[in-house]
Chain A
């Protein structure tokens, strides 16, 4: 596997500019002759499809949802970063770049991150022009807030629904291209394979989720904007449909998968309320600005919160991190909460949460101010738990939320399979080992609106143009394989539901490859996963047929892929024998119990090559160099 990142020459702030000039161009009159497939209609896929359509490419866009507007980008709450420096508080492209590299714990590619910071400003212009109703000040100009512990106010937001508004902007742009006939939408089509011909991605295989029709779609290039894989844990804040299928099938066709063990756990989610639960709900991180996190000092203390006097409460984040207190970064806040619960200090009926208490904030600021700041979040919490956060402290617990890992891509966002591109959360590029708050939307849109529409031309200018159709042997083989897998799933007729396997896998992954990891735990997981997989393939029950709407069958295919992918994740976590960012190996901690990086041995991206199901994948490395941001240890004391 060749890993050439193709980073353009020149100083960091000139690389993208130079590259835009150096790239090959496709003649405008010829663009319509190039067919591009885009899979996924979230911020990255939707923006990419819309812009490529606008440029004149013949775009065919696929989503498994009933409408492009349902993509999970819609659920992002907090905001989107941009180095606009509208607040005049010293922000700059360089500072955003610096913060992102450092926040990612030095496991991302400098050149990509700098480009992201440069493009961040264009995104806001674009979104506002589309009619995205960002929050505004009374003077009519855009408002900003500081988010996730950033030292500057660079986050643009639309109440708690920034992702929704940005996605709708993007969806509208996409529908405009559909109306103009430049993008053809394929709703309710799930991508199930990539077709590779002569080493190049030339199409995909899809299943129409209503008619069950499995067919090949050919193209000159394929772009995956298919999101992340947090649902490998079963319980996560991701939508139920989020899955690894597209990126995993690409991996099986030769695309390298980078840093799969970099998964982010969000500290402020509502704890699980019972075994029946299918999904965890995120509460905006902004709650930590005023809420105080604590647990009872005594393990197993069953008293209601208000009966526990202050000296019997442990405000552990304030105790351990006097200067950052409750605002420590996501990974630290999450890990400490888990430690507390594991040590028996958990609260709530299932003893699986910690308190996030607004008692003092209400006393200090008054109920009205608290309501103004967090009213909608309190209401949401009340709806879900039936508890009133004005009266009793909220209970929170960390939950899987975002995956920094993804398909390895070069500077042009192309995977190791020529003609196959990955954008947004589906690729690994910009966040390193830990993503900063409000950076996911930024990356998705930068990739979709501003990068892929240009870099795809660089490939297509002297890449494929037609010449293959659905009858090509490779296409027919791929279709046949997909059908075989489906038939196999339908014929097992075992005794357990798909969900029960997913839950079982999720538990293994959460326990051994979740917030903190150990060598022995990962080895145990590597033993258990194949066992679950084997059981799945001999005892799963998928009712119905493949010829109509069959949600059990859809789920089965996705869980089957998780069961293969999970192993690579564990291999990655095992071989990355250091702690960095969200990847926390208990063996590698500082004296204070913080993550301890090993830059000499692991300053690289780990890229996995598929060798067959159940076979140990091959690990490749893309060395990372840091010329612009000096390597340093994070400290939040």
Chain B
């Protein structure tokens, strides 16, 4: 642990923590997207929707070996820790950078690689705000017009039938994927994955993965609005 702390004290250490926590969150995002796609699974209109069944499976996973909600809370705690580390490191790195250049350039032409890299910080803030909304929307139902606990599919369809909400979701997911694009290939660099073959495909790979995620997420609200996913 002491080693981890000394490592964390250096800027490279913070970056490594950032990358590791980012990887955990990335894993969750991938799983989340795959879960969402259950919305498209065939459903006879009566009985629980496969998405609801999936939700139940998550709640009851491993029962009775582990208590109900065990996995769910385990994952939630891990995610919370990851988010915490990710944000803490981001804030510390940001303040280190700020103090490294107290006096800004009067004329500056950015030389950075991409739009994505330039928007990491604000993009991150937007994603964080979205996540809060998203939890209040679909997890606790606090801001949902007609929330019913356990009816994941119904909640989803009703939620997305509002074009404003759907539009906001698509935009937010876009921001998330932009964040992931820069984050993903940065992870290779930060964790020191170095191999001439990997180096070359780092960026394209990151682009393909984040584009795939975007499509995977955006397709759900779009399908609701298009009337493909209905309340049955």
Query: In the complex, A touching B, CB below 8 Å?
Result: no
Residue ranges of A at the interface with B (Cβ–Cβ < 8 Å)? none
Residue ranges of B at the interface with A (Cβ–Cβ < 8 Å)? none
